[in-house]
């Protein structure tokens, strides 16, 4: 359906051949060195912030490396990247509101999963997560994430579902939580509406969205919050990425996290 697959931002030239080879580098998948305050001081501030909220010990549990061009800094005697730091902060948002670590046989769906960074981190963080599924409308991302998760030996728990197979999968399997990290803002409204209709139809109870601002807007300035309401997704949380106001000014890529619950009627 072209209404779903016609891109807003992710056209054929959105990633270069080098981006595909070094998909964990500073590129469209994850800005690591571009933008305001995206420097070693911001990485240091964010690292110590993460350590201050890390009551589950994820900084010790999750390792980092420079594979596939990942931009790393050595801070406090360990390698850190935006891949690692963002993933941990996102996990703690889910832990705060949904007690992620206490779920049994949890299945998570990452919509617009990119190269699979969050799936890699979340299944390593929590053995109780049965599956983290990755899907993406950009075919190159489907290929890269499948390759990457296999490289990490996670293909049993972190699986890639091609977009044309996702509805069949949801028809036959239960998904507890859907994630959309900086992806819906890069989509047309028609694609967002398709996704919400599918999630609603198959009873996905929780949906986490990270937009590119403090509002639920696409990159061409359209509000997609009415679509969420139309399909029964009610907001239950909106938090800044950083609780500390200084970090909201100087930390790595400040953002806002939204959590929705699907309610019938």
The structure tokens 């070693």 sit at: 40
For 132-191, write each residue's pLDDT tens digit: 999 998 889 999 999 999 999 999 999 999 999 999 999 999 999 999 999 999 999 999
Going by the DSSP 8-state scheme, the letter that residue 27 receives in this structure is B
Tell me: the pLDDT tens digits for 15-73? 788 888 899 999 888 999 998 889 999 999 999 999 999 999 999 999 999 999 999 99
Beta carbons of 256 and 238 less than 8 angstroms apart: yes
> In the prediction, which pLDDT does 9 show?
63
Q: What is the mean pLDDT of residues 87-104?
A: 95
Is pTM beyond 0.85 here? yes
Handedness of CA 142, 143, 147, 150 (dihedral sign): positive
Name the one residue in this structure whose structure tokens are 């941990």: 88
Q: Measured between alpha carbons, how far is 94 from 14 in angstroms, rounded to an integer?
A: 30
């Amino acid at each position: 359906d072209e209404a779903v697959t016609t891109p807003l931002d992710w056209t054929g030239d959105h990633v270069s051949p080098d981006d595909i080879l070094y998909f964990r580098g500073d590129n469209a998948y994850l800005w690591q060195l571009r933008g305001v305050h995206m420097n070693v001081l911001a990485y240091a501030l964010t690292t110590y912030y993460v350590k201050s909220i890390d009551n589950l010990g994820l900084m010790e549990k999750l390792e980092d490396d420079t594979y596939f061009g990942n931009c790393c800094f050595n801070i406090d005697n360990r390698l850190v990247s935006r891949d690692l730091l963002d993933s941990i902060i996102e996990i703690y948002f889910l832990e705060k509101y949904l007690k992620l670590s206490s779920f049994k046989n949890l299945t998570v769906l990452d919509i617009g999963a990119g190269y699979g960074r969050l799936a890699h981190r979340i299944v390593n963080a929590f053995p109780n997560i049965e599956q983290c599924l990755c899907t993406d409308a950009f075919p190159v991302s489907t290929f890269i994430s499948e390759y990457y998760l296999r490289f990490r030996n996670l293909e049993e728990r972190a699986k890639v579902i091609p977009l044309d197979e996702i509805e069949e999968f949801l028809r036959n399997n239960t998904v507890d939580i859907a994630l959309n990290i900086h992806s819906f803002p890069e989509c047309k409204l028609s694609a967002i509406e398709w996704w919400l209709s599918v999630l609603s139809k198959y009873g996905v109870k929780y949906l986490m969205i990270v937009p590119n601002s403090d509002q639920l807007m696409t990159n061409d300035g359209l509000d997609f919050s009415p679509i969420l309401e139309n399909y029964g997704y009610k907001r239950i949380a909106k938090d800044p990425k950083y609780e500390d106001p200084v970090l909201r000014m100087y930390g790595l890529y400040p953002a806002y996290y939204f959590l929705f619950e699907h309610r019938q009627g």
